[in-house]
A = this chain, B = another copy of it.
Amino acid sequence: MGKPLRVGMCGLGTVAQGVLNVLRDNHDAITQRAGREIQLTQIASRSLKAGVDLGSAEFCTDVLALSRRDDLDVVVELIGGEETALEIVRNALRNGTSVVTGNKAIMALHGNELVELAREQGCSLGFEAAVAGAIPIIAALTRSLAGNQVGWLAGIINGTSNFILTAMTEEGQNFQDALEEAQRLGYAEADPTVDVDGIDAAHKLTILAALAFDMGFRFSDVYTEGISGVTAEDIEYADQLGYRIKHLGITRRTEAGVEARVHPTLVPKRQLIANINGVMNAVLVQGNAAGPTLFCGAGAGDRPSASAVIADLVEMARGIAFLPVKTPNVSPPMLAVEDTQSAFYLRIPSLDQPGVFAKVAGLLSERDISIEAAIQREQAIDTTSQQAWVPIIILTHVVNERVMNDAVAAVQSLPEVVGQITRLRVDQLTDG
């Protein structure tokens, strides 16, 4: 047995406490597998909560001082946020200390710099915990699927959004009620915007795209759309058409470039990923050798995230100092979302008059957009205008998004269209 791996940990929140607990609970198994002790030497956090057992670790309140110690093998950054976290990681790497972080924001926004710094210093930089909690998707993309060229991947990578959409689907709740339920249960923050607007998912998708396509971290090129525009009505119509609505991060390599987008997506019900419910996460990867592989598990939580942090620590203890990302010399072009192709779901609130559907179909047809399926409902009464209107639901074939935008604008300007058109993307999640 070698000498202990000396670890300093910044942060003492949920995940950090998970790391403490799991290292203690599974001490013997972890030590055996790592080949040596993983020793939490020091823990730094603004304050020490009562009842937290630090074991033999020293405690200090100065996270930056910890990050500059030169007697540590690894610094674990779990404070979250951006500025101080970034400073911790930079300090440690500049000092030649390896780093494990669960921080998707700093990896998405500063990953290129940090990977380069780690490489220059000959350090490891592990961030398995930054994406999809316990699911080993970083290891899958960088190691297990290393023999593949990835065609695309699609993931449910934000548990809060998936919980809300699941509640809306299973209980017919509207967005606001489902969000409040998520907040009551602790699955959504008091300010939920980072989750429900898709920013958290976009951070994670940035990381996945960097690994899948060996192209570096390009957060500003990720198109991001949240779930607050999805209604219980849309979920119901999607269900009738054979689809579930999931908040997906999708990245795909095409001949024209790489697309990366986060948005609510209609997915065929028969796809396993359409059946990942609640706060669970899942990532579906299409490799040109492996075919489709799906990885599902807990996307967050103290112990699942700790599982990922400890996986990185065990690798480092084994001396497997592998840097999972290359800084690319050349990076493929990224496609603007307008240049991508999708099938679309349209919900068009229109007057209940003869000929409206024909007009809409005509505007689509003029632009070579063909209709895959349509639903026309019994009429509803708009309580303000007392006018009768019906939602026209249309599922289109795959079309260029720019063409669809033009078509939606044309349909929206029909006098018979009495409200805002809802437009959602549809993905079969197959190669065809």
Chain A interface (Cβ < 8 Å from any Cβ of B): 18, 22-23, 25-26, 29-30, 32-34, 128, 133-136, 139-140, 142-149, 214, 272, 275-276, 287-298, 301, 303-304, 306-311, 313-315, 318, 320, 322, 326
Contacts and interface: CB of A to CB of B under 8 A. Distances in A.
A298 B304 contact: no
Nearest to A293: B297
Nearest to A137: B144
A329 B124 CA distance: 32
B293 A296 contact: yes
A34 to B, nearest CB: 7
A144 B139 contact: yes
20 contacts: A25-B289, A26-B148, A26-B288, A30-B147, A32-B326, A128-B144, A136-B139, A143-B314, A143-B315, A147-B310, A147-B314, A272-B272, A272-B275, A272-B296, A291-B303, A293-B296, A293-B297, A294-B294, A295-B295, A296-B296
A275 B146 CA distance: 28
A264 B29 CA distance: 32
A398 B304 CA distance: 29
Interface centre among A32, A297, A298, A314 (most CB of B within 10 A): A297
Given A32-B326, A272-B272, A293 B147 contact: no
Given A139-B143, A289-B134, A26 B149 contact: yes
Number of identical protomers: 2
Contacts of A326: 32-33
B291 A134 contact: yes
A296 to B, nearest CB: 4
A134 B295 CA distance: 12
Contact of A292 (B295, B297, B308, B320): B297
B307 A147 contact: yes
Contacts of A290: 133-134, 297-298, 303-304, 307
A358 B310 CA distance: 55
Contacts of A140: 136, 139
